[in-house]
Amino acid sequence: MSDQIPSTGTEISSANTESPSTTTAIPSTGAESPSATTEIPSTGAQSPTTGTESPTADTPAAPARAKTRRTRSLINKTYAGQLAIAGDIAAAAVKPEYAEALAAKGIDAAFIATLEAQIAEGGQFITDAGDKIAERKSATNAKKAAKAVLLELLGVIKARAKLKYPRLGDPQRARYCIGQKLALSRNFLSAGAQVIINHLEAGDLPDVTPAEVAALKAALETYRTLNTAQTDDQCGATTARFRCATKVAEVTELRRKLQYAADAAWPSTRATSAGIRAEFKLPKNRALK
C-alpha cells in the first residue's frame, strides 16, 4: 500500500495522504509513535472532552409543556378590587379625627357620603351583571341541548327520505335538505327544519307518524325560543358589563380626589404621616402621582 523512502523513513499512503507529523516512523527502532498510529473513526466518534455521543435524530425530544387552561370569573375581578379599595379609603375618611384636615382640602361629609353611595351602587351593578352573565351561559347551554335534539330528529326523517328517494341527484331529496349542513347557522337550521315539517304535513312520507311530526315541531319551537332568550341575555350581559365599567370609573375618580386631599394634608415628608397615609392607600415615601 505504501512505499518507504529510506532517507527519511516517511511513509506515503497511496490511498490517503496523512500529515508528515503523524506518519513519520522512527528509523532506529522501526517503531511508530503511538500518536501516529491512532486512527479516528469517521463516524460514531465520541467527544474528546466529554466522551458523550452527539445527539442524533433518534434522541427523544423533551416533552411539551402542558398548557394551563385559564378560567374567567363572571365579572372582571378588577372591578370588585377597585370598589374594595375605594371602600377602605372611604372608611378612613369618615373618622372624626381626620374630618377637619380633609375639610380644609375640600373633602367634606357630603363628598364622602356621595363616594359611599357610588361604591354601594357599583357593588349592586356587579351583582346584577353577574346574574345576567350567568343567565346568558345557562341559555347557551340549553340552546345547545335543544339543537342536538332537533338535529337528531331531523336525522331520522332524512334517513327515511333517502329510502324513498335513493337515487343520488333526485330533486325530491332537496325537500328534506339531504346533503345540506343545517347545523352551519341557527337561521339555516330553523328554515331547513320548517321546510321538512311542511313536506311531512303534506304526507310526502306516509311512514312518518303524526306523533313524530309533532315531536319535530315541538323541538323546533323550543330551539327558536331558546335562541331568542340567548340573544336577550347576551344584550343584557353586555349592558351590565358597560354599567359596571362606567360606575367603577366614577368611583375611581372620586376616590383619587379624596386621596389627593389626604396626600396634601399628610405629606410623605412628615414622618408622623406614615400611618395615616397607609390608611388612605398612599405611597409611603413619595407623593401620589
Query: Structurally, how many domains does the chain consist of?
Result: 1
pLDDT of residue 130: 80
**pLDDT for 21 beyond 80:** no
CA–CA distance, 2 with 248 (Å, rounded to integer)? 93
pLDDT for res 227: 84
Which are the contacts of 206, defined by CB distance < 8 A and separation ≥ 6? Answer: none
Confidence of residue 275 (pLDDT cuts 50, 70, 90): very high
Q: Cβ(139)–Cβ(229) under 8 Å?
A: yes
Q: What is the span of the domain harbouring residue 172?
A: 77-279
Radius of gyration of the chain (CA): 42
pLDDT tens digits along 142-197: 989 999 999 999 999 999 999 999 999 899 999 899 988 898 888 899 999 999 99
Whole-number mean pLDDT of the chain? 79
- Assigned domain for 286 exists: no
Calculate the CA dihedral of residues 106, 111, 112, 118 and round it to 10 degrees: -140
| pLDDT higher than 70, residue 124 | yes
Task: Output the pLDDT for position 235.
Answer: 79
Is 52 part of a structural domain of the chain?
no
- Report d(CA 145, CA 166) in Å as an integer: 31
The distance from CA 24 to its chain's CA centroid, rounded to whole angstroms, is: 70
pLDDT band at 120 (very low <50, low <70, confident <90, very high): very high
How many degrees, rounded to 5, is the angle at CA 211 between CA 206 and CA 215?
115
CA distance 248 to 256: 12
Residue 251: the pLDDT is 96
For residue 68 the three cell numbers come to 394551563
C-alpha cell recorded at residue 9? 523513513
pLDDT tier for residue 24 given thresholds of 50, 70 and 90? very low
If you average pLDDT over residues 110-129, what whole number do you get? Answer: 92
**Mean pLDDT score, 219-236:** 83
pLDDT of residue 262: 96
The 3-state DSSP class for residue 10 equals strand
- Does residue 71 fall inside a structural domain? no
Lowest mean pLDDT among 71-80, 85-94, 96-105, 245-254: 71-80
Dihedral angle sign, alpha carbons of residues 217, 219, 222, 227: negative
pLDDT band with cut points at 50, 70 and 90 for residue 48 = very low
Residue 46 falls inside a structural domain: no
Highest averaged pLDDT of the listed ranges 5-19, 216-230, 270-284: 270-284
In a domain, 137, yes or no: yes
Q: Where is 133: in which H helix or E strand?
A: helix 109-164
List phi, psi (to 5°) of 4: -100, 130
Structural domain includes residue 102 = yes
pLDDT of residue 258: 97
Sorting pLDDT into bands at 50, 70 and 90, what band is 67? low
Nearest to 15 by CA among 5, 23, 26: 23
Which residues face 32 on adjacent strands? Answer: 25
Do the domain assignments include residue 289? no
The model's pLDDT over 133-144, given as tens digits with 9 standing for 90+, comes to 787 788 888 989
Q: Indicate if the pLDDT at residue 113 is higher than 90.
A: yes
Of the pLDDT bands very low, low, confident and very high (cuts 50, 70, 90), residue 5 is very low
SS3 labels along 194-239: HHHHHHHHCCCCCCCCHHHHHHHHHHHHHHHHHHHHHHHHHHHHHH
Residue 119 has pLDDT above 80, yes or no: yes
Strand pairing partners for 13?
2
The answer to whether 267 and 285 have CB atoms below 8 angstroms apart is no
Instruction: List residues bridging with 3 in a β-sheet.
Output: 12
92, part of any domain: yes
Does residue 73 register a pLDDT over 90? no
Q: Is the pTM here over 0.85, yes or no?
A: no
Record the cell numbers describing residue 110, joined without a space. Answer: 357630603
Task: Specify the DSSP element, H or E, that contains 4.
Answer: strand 2-4
For residue 219, give the nearest of 176, 190, 184 by alpha carbon: 190
Burial 32-52 (b: 16+ CB within 10 A, else e): eeeebeeeeeeeeeeeeeeee
